[in-house]
Every structure is written in C-alpha cells, then in structure tokens.
A and B are shown apart, each in its own frame.
Chain A
Amino acid sequence: EAGVVQSPRYKIIEKKQPVAFWCNPISGHNTLYWYRQNLGQGPELLIRYENEEAVDDSQLPKDRFSAERLKGVDSTLKIQPAELGDSAVYLCASSLEDPESYNSPLHFGNGTRLTVT
C-alpha cells in the first residue's frame, strides 16, 4: 500500500511570495488533514477534510492560507503571501473513517519543510 505522498519535500521562498504544497492521501482514505509543525513542537491542525468538505478549518489563518480537496482525493495547501513566521514543516495525513471505527490512526506523509527568508 502506497503511503501518503507530499511534494515538494523542501521549499525556500522569500517573504511575500506565494507557495503551494500538494498531498496525495492513501487510496480510499476519506479523511485528510493538514498540520503545521514548528521546530521542537508537536503537529497542530490547520484543516481537516471529510471527502471534499472542510469540516474543521478553525485553526487555518484564512487571510493568507487556503486549501482545497477537489474530488475528495488529493489536496493542495496554499500560502499567499508567505511571512517569516510561516517557516515550519507542513504535514499531510489521512485516515479511513467509518461509523465502526472512530478515531482511526493518522497516516502521515514526509512533510514539506518551508523556509521563508
């Protein structure tokens, strides 16, 4: 089974520039998450999708961040414009949720390490 695939692996941009991250979840996983992980900290949720619907985006800074999950499969996360404080690792995760198995484990990708200069 192929895991969660993210690209790019690394990205270095200047502040005020736009940037986009891509995620392809495990086949068949209906729930997709974007997390941000700052150095020395645990992941923090940005947005969660169930199929193509964003069901929890309360932590997403909507003035500069946007996300989409067309057709309920892969997803993109965009930042425009980027700020210095956006430097972090952006992690995508997926899980298979159904009424019989709430709180299924998350499967994570390798992440995208963003550096804003």
Chain B
Amino acid sequence: AQKVTQAQTEISVVEKEDVTLDCVYETRDTTYYLFWYKQPPSGELVFLIRRNSFDEQNEISGRYSWNFQKSTSSFNFTITASQVVDSAVYFCALSEMDNFNKFYFGSGTKLNVKP
C-alpha cells in the first residue's frame, strides 16, 4: 500500500492564483515526520519543510503555508499568489520513527504556473 499519496498528478494555474497541493499519508506509528520537497527542472530536490506528528500547528513561510491534520492524515501545501518560478514538481514524504531515516515519497504533483 502507498504510504504517501499525492492524487494530483499535474496542476496548471495562472500567475497570482492560489494553489493547494494535497498529500495524504498512512502510518501506524505515533511518531513520524512529514516533509515537502520541490524539484525544479534542474532536477535537485530542495527541502521545504519538516513537520513532526506532535506539532499540528499550521505553518506559514512567506507565500507558502502548510496545513497538517492528523484526523484526516493530510499534510497539504498551499502557495499563495503563485509565480512562474514556483513551477516544479512537489513531493510529499513520510519518515517513521520506528524506521527513521527511511523516507517514503509520494509520486509528486507537477505544478505549472503560467504567466
């Protein structure tokens, strides 16, 4: 079974629109970590955020915000006022405490931001 599901394969928006990327995870561990990575066309995955399972506070960093809801096993990522430079593939990942340092990645969501 997929531990991390990113149901949106590809999303296209026009610049300045807000966009939310969905991530649903599955784990039996009570302690786990969730991550978001950005992969621009250059290929390097860039770390964006890490969240542990005990911290359900939403986080905002500039135009980026993350909504962690344990009740629905979701860790969604919102980009406000999207820009062309946000165009990339975004990956959600899970790491469990019982098997730490083993990362399970979703299949990614390709975001196209058009001018």
Which residues of A are in contact with B by a Cβ distance under 8 Å? 3, 31, 40-45, 48, 50, 56, 89, 91, 93, 95, 97, 102-103, 105-111, 113
**Chain B, range 11-70, C-beta contacts under 8 Å to A:** 33, 35, 37, 42-47, 50, 52
When the two chains form their complex, are residues A108 and B101 in contact, meaning their CB atoms are under 8 A apart? no
A89 to B3, CA, bound (A): 22
**CB<8 Å pairs between A and B, sample of 19:** A3-B44, A40-B107, A43-B91, A43-B105, A45-B102, A48-B101, A50-B101, A56-B101, A56-B102, A91-B45, A93-B45, A103-B50, A103-B95, A103-B100, A105-B47, A106-B47, A108-B44, A110-B44, A111-B43
Which residues of B are in contact with A by a Cβ distance under 8 Å? 4, 9, 33, 35, 37, 42-47, 50, 52, 91, 93, 95, 97, 100-103, 105-108
When the two chains form their complex, are residues B35 and A105 in contact, meaning their CB atoms are under 8 A apart? yes
Number of A-B contacts (CB under 8 A): 61
A110 to B32, CA, bound (A): 27
Hey, which chain B residues are within 8 Å of A93, CB to CB? 45
Question: Closest chain B residue to A112 by CB distance?
Answer: B43
A56 to B95, CA, bound (A): 14
Q: How far is the CB of A59 from chain B (nearest CB, A)?
A: 10
Hey, which chain B residues are within 8 Å of A106, CB to CB? 37, 45, 47, 103
Hey, which chain B residues are within 8 Å of A45, CB to CB? 102-103
With A44-B105, A103-B100: A110-B43 Cβ-Cβ less than 8 Å: yes
With A102-B97, A102-B100, A105-B35: A111-B105 Cβ-Cβ less than 8 Å: no
